[in-house]
A and B are shown apart, each in its own frame.
Chain A
Amino acid sequence: MKDSQSLSAAVIKDSNVSRLPESLSFQTIDDYIFTLPGYGAQVATFGTMIGFLIFISSFILAIFIYILTTQKKNIFGILKAEGIPNRYISRSVQSQVILLATTGMLIGLGLTVLSGLGFGDKLPFMIQPVFFLIISSLFLICAAIGGIASVRVVTKIDPVGAIG
């Protein structure tokens, strides 16, 4: 520490240390890591990938639920022709969507945590409750959107089509 020429950087925990050479400037560890070559770009790349993955998954989830319902359009048409109330059919669709989305989400969360434990130290893995909560709610919201669209389809089916 006496020779200011031979010291180009120092990592310290206490910013009150004042016996460092004047030529060095202070920087927090986080700020410094971001100046490492490629680090910022890497974080941005992974962040974008993960973001899009979540976005696409939610989108597929909504579409999937919508298709699942519209595939049964003929059956719903027959039920409506038989006088089964719209309310009952819509409610069944809604409760099935909720059940499906919740079960899927719980299984997904479970598998995520399990695989995190399985990887152990080999892979950096951290459980971030806030992050998980946001993703889970996003999935549920998208499932709900798919469900609402499905219910609209069901209500609009014309039972006359059942006879032809």
Chain B
Amino acid sequence: MAKEKALLQMIDVVRDFKQGGEVVHALKKTNLSIMAGQLVAIIGPSGSGKSTFLTIAGGLQLPTSGVVLIEKTDITNMNSKQLSDIRLNRIGFILQSSNLVPFLSVDQQLELRSRAVGQSVNKVSRDKIFQELGIESLRSKYPSELSGGERQRVAIAKAIYGDPNIILADEPTASLDTKKAFEVVEIIARQAKDHKKAVIMVTHDERLIKYCDVVYVMKDGILSLKK
């Protein structure tokens, strides 16, 4: 039953890097399923393999072995163009450095995605997102004119504009104070709860865990459930 709603699955996923003559086992054998409506946190020390995990989950790089299923589609044999398509349509990224283009206004950040696929702006869904995130008044501003919290909201707007079912966030609250960090995580949590997305969030901040349904700890490339 539950398996049917799994939006992201990893089966025996391993990622090794060859560095010089040595092999770095960045991600050891990993199995997991993430369901629609789940907010999953991944915590762990620096260099433990969190970003490696996230980039494999997001189709940015392929595993050395194992299978990654995104909405039941096996991506492990895809070429870079097919992976790019998967990322465009199935995955929303919220990045640490806030993934905004410095010389585009908030409106244009979203418009860019529509243009890239040869469509005009979906005004209805854009306005709905802006309203939900409380950033209607920022639409004509540029990233440099926004505060850290506002920038992260816009980054979220950008990530969900294409209506992906999977959202991946890498340290989305890294540069925010506690109050702002909580606000941003609440917005991210709502994407899982209200919109039934599968959300994975990598974070150093253990205070954010209370918003999450499942918490994994990454240590030396081994992913395990936090007790």
Do A and B assemble together? Answer: yes
Contact of B113 among A84, A86, A159 (CB under 8 A): A84
Interface residue A108 (Cβ < 8 Å from any Cβ of B): no
Interface residue B224 (Cβ < 8 Å from any Cβ of A): no
| Cβ contact within 8 Å between B55 and A160 | yes
| Cβ contact within 8 Å between B81 and A86 | yes
Contact of B61 among A79, A80, A88, A160 (CB under 8 A): A160
Assess A81 versus B61: contact at CB under 8 Å? Given A75-B101, A75-B102, A163-B54.
no
Residues of A within 8 A of B101 (CB): 75, 78-79
Interface residue A83 (Cβ < 8 Å from any Cβ of B): yes
Among the listed stretches B83-91, B127-135, B173-181, B204-212, which one makes contact with chain A, having 4 or more residues with CB under 8 Å of it? Answer: B83-91
Interface residue A38 (Cβ < 8 Å from any Cβ of B): no
| Cβ contact within 8 Å between A83 and B55 | no
Interface residue B124 (Cβ < 8 Å from any Cβ of A): no
| Cβ contact within 8 Å between B51 and A85 | no
Q: Whole-angstrom distance from the CB of A162 to the nearest CB of chain B?
A: 6
- A34 to B116 Cα, complex, angstroms: 61
Residues of B within 8 A of A163 (CB): 51, 54-55, 58, 60, 93, 95-96, 170
| Cβ contact within 8 Å between A84 and B112 | yes
Interface residue B99 (Cβ < 8 Å from any Cβ of A): yes
Q: Whole-angstrom distance from the CB of B201 to the nearest CB of chain A?
A: 13
Residues of B within 8 A of A164 (CB): 51
Interface contact tally, CB-CB below 8 A: 61
Across the interface, name the chain A residue whose C-beta is closest to B92.
A82
Greatest chain A CB density within 10 A among B58, B61, B86, B96 is at B58
User: Size range of the interface on B?
Assistant: 20 to 34
- A86 to B89 Cα, complex, angstroms: 15
| Cβ contact within 8 Å between A86 and B84 | yes
| Cβ contact within 8 Å between B95 and A83 | no
Residues of B within 8 A of A84 (CB): 84, 88, 112-113, 116
- A86 to B80 Cα, complex, angstroms: 10
Interface bits A43-81 vs B (CB < 8 Å: 1, else 0)? 000000000000000000000000000000001001111
Contact of A88 among B54, B86, B116 (CB under 8 A): B116
Residues of B within 8 A of A160 (CB): 55, 60-61
- A85 to B116 Cα, complex, angstroms: 7
Task: With A75-B102, A159-B60, A163-B51 given, name 4 new contacts (CB 8 A).
Answer: A83-B84, A84-B112, A85-B84, A163-B96
A-B residue pairs in contact (CB < 8 Å), sample of 18: A75-B101, A75-B102, A78-B95, A80-B84, A81-B58, A82-B88, A82-B99, A83-B84, A83-B86, A83-B87, A83-B88, A84-B113, A85-B116, A159-B60, A163-B51, A163-B55, A163-B96, A164-B51
Binding site for B on A (CB under 8 A): 75, 78-86, 88, 159-160, 162-164
The 10 A-B residue pairs with the shortest CB-CB distance, nearest first, are A83-B88, A83-B87, A88-B116, A84-B116, A78-B99, A160-B60, A83-B84, A160-B61, A163-B55, A163-B170
